[in-house]
Structure formats: structure tokens, C-alpha cells
Amino acid sequence: MTDLNTLDNESLTKLNAELLRKYDSLKAKKLSLDMSRGKPCPEQLDLSMDLLDIASSKELLRANESLDIRNYGGVEGLIEAKKLFGQILHVNPNEIIIGGNSSLSMMHDTISRALLNGVVDSDIPWGKEPKIKFLCPSPGYDRHFAICEMYNIEMITIDMLDDGPDMDKIEELVSKDESIKGIWCVPKYSNPDGITYSDEVVSRLAKMQTKATDFKIFWDDAYTVHHLTEQPPVLKNILKECKEEGHPNRVFMFTSTSKITFPGSGIAAMAASEENINFIKKQLSVQTIGPDKINQLRHVLFLQDLENITLHMKKHAEIIKPKFDMVLNILESELGRYNIASWSKPKGGYFISLNTLDGCATEVVKLASDVGVSLTQAGATYPYGKDPRDRNIRIAPTFPTLAELQTAIEIVCLCVLLASTKKLL
């Protein structure tokens, strides 16, 4: 253990100079490595190539009995697809709406409909209120925050604790402020911390008294079957909990097959109480001619059921777990002894969350970028892109090859050391 925080100035200066030499030598390599977005790698996508051939013309002619899925109709999706997503989210098929290829888009649309028309329990549309606010457990998912920012929804940062967001703070805020209309949650293998909400957190979210009568939980269960271990944590069923606590309409759940099959050509779904679903279906029938039912058939035929999905996700884990392990090993071996950084050890999901010394994240991301290693923008994991301690960096290890990843993460470690010695000097 060489705690850099307690190192004398002379040693620090020497170390800094040595690191700088190493760093400068990297520039000549003209690297171009990307760890910025949670994208599956090509080998993962290859696992689903049968999807392209499974709903062939022959298959469709066979299936084509009661409903012609090529034609218009079926705004809520095929019953078979609703059953499949019912298994994934542990809800009834009649609590499901199937969307297009993007759960982000379903979340966006749910917000824009709420702004323009309100939700089922609203007195007036959210957009007609003088001001509305969302709670944003952070670090969190930048694309959730971008939707709020685009629509001028004020974001309140909530700290993430070890078992989910800071519930004491949340309960205090929602009980007093009726302009707080919602909260963003990634409850399983949270983006980027990899935290799965504890039973207590889920229960308290369902139970808490909110001043706004139309408060909604946006439950983005994006990584619900995306395990990296054999004994995955179990997430309490929020819809069931909300019903039991007398708030059946409080939650909108979202998920998709984006990181199960193909990110660009998957199937998204949302789940909620039947009252919510019926309210939304009415608006959806004005908004669209309905989702792509042939792609739903492809997914139903290919994924079959939850058991088969679990097997399929093991194949994903076989490809990406070595990448997570390599990043964690290098972080430990390169930074472990210096007491200048900490990082998550996720049991699933797509990210490793790295915390540097306060005030170093922007510098690290810039240093890495200058030698050809792209990281998610520093601050991106916080509302308005502003990390109050400027320390969080989201590492996305899935897309690069193992060799690329090794180079990239070694460079990140070097950049963390460099920024830390500079800061401590």
C-alpha cells in the first residue's frame, strides 16, 4: 500500500514526472479505443443471428391463421409477445404494452404524453403546471436526464447508497413538494453503479406518501436478465408492491431485448396497472398504427420463454464476463494500492463505475481522450452533466475486444494516477 494522499511532495513530483513520460510516449501510438457506450460486441450479436431467419415467409404463412400480423392492427402487441414480457417482468400479459425497438422511446413518449395530457391520476397535464421536477438517483443514466433537460423538467440529484437511492431523502422531498412528479430508477444492476435495489428500498418507494397525487416511478429494468454471476440477486416486484400498498398506478416499468438480441432491432415493452395500460392504449391508438408485429413474432419464436432467455443470457455472460474481470483486475493491480480511486464490482449489467479523487474525473477523461481512448463524458452520469464532486467515470467494457480493452484500461489507470498526483501536488 502506497497511499498517495500521505506521500511527501518530493516523491509525488518524481512519480508525476515518471507517469508523464509514460503518458507522452502513448501519443505516438495514435490509438482509437472506445469505452464510452454500453454496446454489445459483435460476438454477442452473433448469438442472435437465427432471429433473422426464424420468421421466414414459410413460417409466417403457417402462423397466419386468426390474425394477419403483416397488416395493420394490434396497438398493444401480439398476445404471445405480451406473455413473453410478462414472464420477464413478472407481471400479467394484460399489464403489458409492446412497443417498437426502443424502450427509451417508450419512456420518452410516456413523459411527453404526461406533459401534454397528464397521466391517469392527473388533474391537469404536467406541462400546464408552473413547474415540475423529477428525482434523479445519481450517478444514473444520462439518457434519462437528457429527456428531462429537453423538456425543462427540473432534476433533483439523489445520492445512490449501497442498496439503492437515499430513501430518507426521497421520502422527505416527495412528502412536501407536489411539483415532484416522478423518479428515474434503474433498479437492477443500476447504470453505472451495478446496484440492485434492496427489498426495503422497493417497498418504501411503493409505500411512501407523495404530495403529488400523480407521482410516477419510471422503473427502467433494462438489465433484468443480464447477470454476470450464477446466483443473481432478486429484485422485489415493484408493481405487486405498489398494488399492495394501495398505489397500483404509481409505477411504469420498462424493459427491452436491446441487449438480449439486437440493440437496433429488438422489442421494447412497458408494464403497469391495467388502469394505466388502458389509459395509455387510448392515446397510443391516436399516436401510431401499432408496433411491428413481425419482429415480435421473430422474438417470440427465437426467445421462447424465460428459461430459454436465461440460457441465452449465459452465453452473453460467457463473452462479457472476462471483459469485466480484466477491467477489475487491472484497476486493482494498477490503482489498488494508492488509495486514490474506488470502483464497483457489478454482478450484472453493462458498466463499471469508477470514482477518482474529487475533482479529477474531467481531467482523466480528457487525458484519455487526448491519447485516443474515449470514455463517457465526465459528469454525464449526473443531471445537467454536472458531477458535484467531479469524480465519477462510467466504464463500458463490453464492446472492445479483450486486447483493446486491456490497452484502454491500462491507459485509464495511468491517467487516473497522473491526474491524482497532479491534484495532490
Binding of residue 207 to its own copies (CB under 8 A)? no
User: What's the closest the beta carbon of residue 346 comes to its own copies, in angstroms?
Assistant: 20
Using the rule CB under 8 A, which residue among 17, 289, 402, 425 binds its own copies? 289
Could you tell me if 92 and 240 are in contact, meaning their C-beta atoms sit under 8 angstroms apart? Answer: no
User: What's the closest the beta carbon of residue 7 comes to its own copies, in angstroms?
Assistant: 43
Burial of residue 336 (number of CB atoms within 10 Å: 0-12, 13-18, 19+): middle
For 149, phi then psi, to 5°, come to: -65, -40
Binding of residue 68 to its own copies (CB under 8 A)? yes
Long-range contacts of 10-15 (CB under 8 A, 24+ apart): 12/421, 12/424, 12/425, 13/425, 15/417, 15/421
Could you tell me if 43 and 319 are in contact, meaning their C-beta atoms sit under 8 angstroms apart? Answer: yes
Q: Which residues pair with 251 in a beta bridge?
A: 217
For 87, phi then psi, to 5°, come to: -65, -40
Q: Count CB neighbours of 282 within 10 A.
A: 11
For 193, phi then psi, to 5°, come to: -75, -15
User: What's the closest the beta carbon of residue 232 comes to its own copies, in angstroms?
Assistant: 25
Binding of residue 146 to its own copies (CB under 8 A)? yes
Residue keyed to cell 480511486? 341
Total residues contacting its own copies by CB under 8 A comes to: 55
Instruction: Map residues 94-133 to x or -, x wherever contact with its own copies holds by CB under 8 A.
Output: ------xxx-xx--x---xx-xxx---------x------
Binding of residue 150 to its own copies (CB under 8 A)? yes
Could you tell me if 351 and 394 are in contact, meaning their C-beta atoms sit under 8 angstroms apart? Answer: yes
Return the range that interacts with its own copies (CB under 8 A); candidates 42-50, 217-225, 323-331, 351-359: 42-50
User: What's the closest the beta carbon of residue 130 comes to its own copies, in angstroms?
Assistant: 12
Using the rule CB under 8 A, which residue among 70, 211, 315, 337 binds its own copies? 70
**CB of 176 or CB of 282, closer to its own copies:** 282
Binding of residue 72 to its own copies (CB under 8 A)? yes
Using the rule CB under 8 A, which residue among 151, 240, 407, 424 binds its own copies? 151
**CB of 116 or CB of 311, closer to its own copies:** 116
Task: Name residues contacting its own copies, limited to 316-355 (CB under 8 A).
Answer: none
Q: How far is CA 120 from CA 109, 152, 181, in A?
A: 15, 22, 13
Q: Return left, alpha or beta for 78; rule: phi > 0 is left, psi -120 to 50 is alpha, else beta.
A: beta
Return the range that interacts with its own copies (CB under 8 A); candidates 67-75, 190-198, 344-352, 384-392: 67-75
> Which positions touch its own copies (CB under 8 A)?
37, 39-40, 42, 45, 48-50, 52-53, 55-57, 60-61, 68-74, 100-102, 104-105, 108, 112-113, 115-117, 127, 143, 146-147, 150-151, 258, 262-265, 283, 286-295
